[in-house]
Amino acid sequence: MAKLDFVTLRSLSRLFDRQGEISLMRIVIVASEAVPWAKTGGLADVAGALPEALAELGHDVTLILPKYRVTTRVSPHPVATRWRYQVPLGGGQVEGGFSQGVSPHGSVRVLFIEQPQFFDREGIYSAHGADFPDNPARFLFFSRAAIEAIRLADLRPDIIHVNDWHTGILPVYLREFYGNIPELAHAAVVMTIHNMAYQGRYGQWVVPLGELPWQLFDWRALEFYGQINFLKAGLVYAQKITTVSPTYAREIQTPDYGHGLDPLLRHREADLHGIVNGVDTVVWNPRTDPQIAHHYDTKSFSEGKSACKLALQKELGLPERPDVPLLAQIGRLDPQKGWDLLLPVASEALARDAFQLVVLGTGQWHYQEALTNLEKKFPKNLRAVMQFSPGLAHQIEAAADLFLMPSLYEPCGLNQIYSQIYGTIPIVRRTGGLADTVIDPVDATAKKPATGIVFDHADQAGLKWAIERGIKLWHDKPSRDAMIVAGMSHDWSWRRSAVDYLKVYESAMSAWVHG
């Protein structure tokens, strides 16, 4: 295992700087989850991959994460450090530490914030379907502890990049309490919104809990309709704001998608950028994926995918039928993902025996129940696996013919991208990142060939129409193959997105210096 060496990394960075080969930045990314250490959703994919892509472009990158119980089960194992610090919380002091490790590719320094009472427990944000009641305390602590770790490890960042509500309060602490420490005050802050719906809203008791000044309990700062709003805090204090697709960046400025923060985002429109997520193309690659039954590429996908489909049908006990398309959906069982449209439409369509459907997801109980009942009704056409299983997700992406994402909103969405990489045609609603990453035949041009089916209206008729188009397309092999090749040939790597983030970082630094 590569051992982290701060000194070597730092001197290497300075060398590059002096030679002027690379305009080096010292970047610290702070997140509540990142692959491979902890994951509940797309944030973890971004926080795992973006730091490595930035480091590969020559920058000095540190990722700061909580050390959850699940984190310690993942290698490479972090190395304990001697540093301790105190975080003022609710009138007392909470002691923390941090251990250090490196990312799987060895290019990113990772600091794991240690506080066993807060993080050494089963679950990341919740247990048995209920959020931990001390989540505000946990993430107030984490945000301030991250600043302490930056100081103690002498990281001197140019950029601190925070993500979602969990770290929204970090820039507040940074500016209000650490403004007189030059190596911290120097840092510009960028905040990324991965999902507007989760804002971290809590009662005003959070003000004394976080030892925050009462004057910040104001609509121009942290207050939001009588509550504290962690996401809003970050949006007010960050120099630049990003979200995970250009369409979502526009949508969240409207009342329908802004969840009450749209006026603030309209106010900050000039500082708000949409950058579509990349994909870890080492992990998601049908040519090499160790989790799938057969490997394939743009030339061999017909045979490769047929073999994967057969293997999945066998594994899930579905009839081995090459003659009907296999549809799939992977993700949280949540209204956001369009389940209130999908369940009635699927129920009606499955009766016609025109396709098989595989669902992999965990989430709301009533959707699980509905899927169980539907599976009982159509045992030859539907398999619903209510687990969180990354391995099965890979197998499904390789095996499926069509992938359903009828989301009501979708900041970026990853599975429609994984689908294209694996030659699975996505059927998506025109919203957020889905609109930015899937091209319908109607919108296709010579330079931007069609890669999927896109429908506009979030109603059952819209979804039904889209599924029918998808099935018709599947039966038309030349059109289907052209679409598959277009999707598989696209460059979905993180490098492109990382370059866009660097531009935002540069503008944040300039805004902080000149603003």
> From CA 432, how far away is CA 349, in angstroms rounded?
27
Minimum CB separation of residue 122 from ligand ADP in Å reads 17
Interacting residue with ligand ADP among 38, 149, 349, 414 (CB under 6 A):
414
Q: What is the DSSP string of 127-194?
A: ETTEE-TTHHHHHHHHHHHHHHHHHHTT---SEEEEETGGGTTHHHHHHHHSTT-HHHHT-EEEEEES
C-beta closer to ligand ADP: residue 193 or 206: 193
Cβ-based nearer residue to ligand ADP, 362 or 479: 362
Residue 281 makes contact with ligand ADP by CB under 6 A? no
Query: How many of the chain's residues bind ligand ADP (CB under 6 A)?
Result: 17
Calpha distance 235→237 (Å, rounded): 6
Cβ 381 vs Cβ 348: under 8 Å: no
Q: Footprint of ligand ADP on residues 329-348 (CB under 6 A)?
A: 330-332
Cα-based angle 129, 132, 133 (whole degrees, multiple of 5): 125
The phi, psi pair for 128, rounded to 5°, reads 50, 40
Considering only residues 343 to 372 of the shown chain, the ones binding ligand ADP according to CB under 6 A are 360-362
Structure tokens at 238: 């960050």
**Shortest Cβ 101–ligand ADP spacing (Å):** 22
Residue 129 dihedral angles phi and psi, to the nearest 5°: 80, 0
**Phi, psi at 242, each rounded to 5°:** -125, 160
**Does residue number 406 form part of the binding site for ligand ADP (CB under 6 A)?**
no
The 375-394 contact track toward ligand ADP, x by CB under 6 A, reads -------------xxx--x-
Q: Is 90 in the site for ligand ADP (CB under 6 A)?
A: no
DSSP 222: T
How many Å apart are CA 450 and CA 469, to the nearest integer? 13
Question: DSSP letter at 223?
Answer: E
- Min dist. Cβ of residue 361 to ligand ADP (A): 5
Site string for ligand ADP, 291-330 (x = CB under 6 A): ---------------------------------------x
- Residue 285 touching ligand ADP (CB under 6 A): no
Q: Which stretch binds ligand ADP (CB under 6 A): 37-45, 287-295, 447-455, 471-479?
A: 37-45
- Residue 427 touches ligand ADP, criterion: CB under 6 A: no
How open is the CA angle 410-164-133, to the nearest 5 degrees? 110
Site membership for ligand ADP, residue 479 (CB under 6 A):
no
Instruction: Using CB under 6 A, pick the residue from 42, 101, 325, 470 that binds ligand ADP.
Output: 42
The nearer residue to ligand ADP, 242 or 415, going by C-beta atoms, is: 415
Closer by beta carbon to ligand ADP, 61 or else 330: 330
The Cα–Cα gap between 192 and 79 comes to 29
Nearer residue to ligand ADP within complex by CB, 46 or 113? 46
Residues forming the site for ligand ADP (CB under 6 A): 41-42, 45, 330-332, 360-362, 388-390, 393, 412-415
